[in-house]
Amino acid sequence: MELLAGLPVDPAVLAAFIIAGGAIVLSPGPDKLLIIRYTMSSGAAVGISTVAGVQAGLLVH
């Protein structure tokens, strides 16, 4: 534990922060859920169109 002794933050808090950050990064957002929904229900062509629409929205935003 000598390696962690010089940290300016409590190692338990740092570990909790890293775990929470990883969970947030790995969870799908609303755009990914929309793409999955349309691809599963209507096929690949509609899924690709949905991806194009989402990307167009991100480009404008």
Q: What is the pLDDT of residue 2?
A: 65
- For residues 44 and 57, give the distance between their C-alpha atoms in angstroms, rounded to a whole number: 20
Show pLDDT as tens, one digit a residue, over the chain (61 residues).
Answer: 566 667 788 888 989 999 999 999 999 999 999 999 999 999 999 999 999 999 999 999 8
b/e map of 4-42 (b: 16 or more CB within 10 Å)?
eeeeeeeeeeeeeeeeeeeeeeeeeeeeeebbeebbeee
Predicted confidence at residue 26, as pLDDT, reads 92
- Give the torsion through C-alpha atoms of 53, 55, 56, 60, to 10 deg: 140
